[in-house]
A = this chain, B = another copy of it.
Amino acid sequence: MSFVKGAQDRKEECRAEMSIERDFRRELPSIVDGIVALHGKDDRFTHVGPEPMPARSSVIDIIHRAISVIYPGYFSPARLDEVSLPYYFGQQVTDLFQVLSDQIAFAIRHDCRRFDLACTGCETRGQKAAVEFLREVPGLQAKLAKDIAAAYEGDPAAKYHDEIIFSYPGLFTVTVYRIAHILHRLGVPLIPRIMSEYAHGQTGIDIHPNVEIGESFFIDHGTGVVIGETTIIGNRVRLYQGVTLGALSLRKEECEALRDRKRHPTIEDDVIIYANATILGGSTVIGARSIIGGNVWLTESVPPDTTVFLKKPELVFRENQT
């Protein structure tokens, strides 16, 4: 084919296209009318009304602001020293308060409307929850420092702690989980789940904000990890990629009955669970100091101090066929 066209050809083509363009654009109003006419019908989901709702982008902004406070100096371009530090924290914390209290208020109001409740004092409740969250920041920093130490101890590839803060997806997800979990415990609707699914999208690690996790928790590699809503995890637990802590299979008719019931396992202190192991069921307990091998599939409890592994699977070795 030739890339160079005669000027006349090109002009003709342009003219033809311009006239046709007008035709296609003329169809837009009827398309818009069709969308408007069907709006709100047929169980279409919509959120139209006078009240704003939490914005996903603002929730993501909150996560990154909180991380700037929790790990000062790591993610902000500003150079911090002992002189500037109090101003830095002062500015960051007041800014975070503002955006966090606004979004919590939107989320509470959204919740009130959904349940047809009067929403009195949503702003106030938003500010109260934001202040309560901020009060927990020092404790959160101390807890996350233990998670970082656990990552360093558990991964021979970790060269130093800063590398973990900068780059480990497990630590990022656990940081977001611990933030979301505090807000969830404070009764904030919607926002914790948006946070946990944001981290899930970033890292492939899915931790529901309702999960209870002890100190010094480490997830290595992490892609594909799923930790379901009612899981309880003790101290010094280590997980690898692809581990599922999930619910037993659900028939459609049972699903509604199980809402708010404990459906996911309990993992006691000092347990290690290797890659792609699956542990299911609300009454399944993995006893302290037990080790669960890769690919193990468990729906029953394991006593403390037990190593569980797959009986060596039978492999077939044969010469390549040609």
Contact = CB atoms under 8 A, between A and B. Distances in A.
Given A25-B97, A169-B197, 11 more contacts: A13-B120, A16-B121, A24-B128, A25-B94, A35-B89, A36-B89, A45-B74, A45-B165, A49-B81, A55-B77, A307-B318
5 contacts: A20-B124, A24-B101, A28-B97, A43-B145, A47-B71
Interface centre among A110, A130, A241, by most chain B C-beta atoms within 10 angstroms, is: A241
Interface string A101-145: 100000000101110111111011001101100110110011011
- Indicate how many identical chains form the complex: 3
Interface centre among A17, A32, A135, A226, by most chain B C-beta atoms within 10 angstroms, is: A32
A228 B157 contact: yes
A308 B298 contact: no
A294 interface: yes
- Label chain A's interface by main secondary structure: mixed
A244 B121 contact: no
Interface string A45-63: 1111111111111000000
A100 B10 CA distance: 23
Contacts of A77: 52, 55, 57
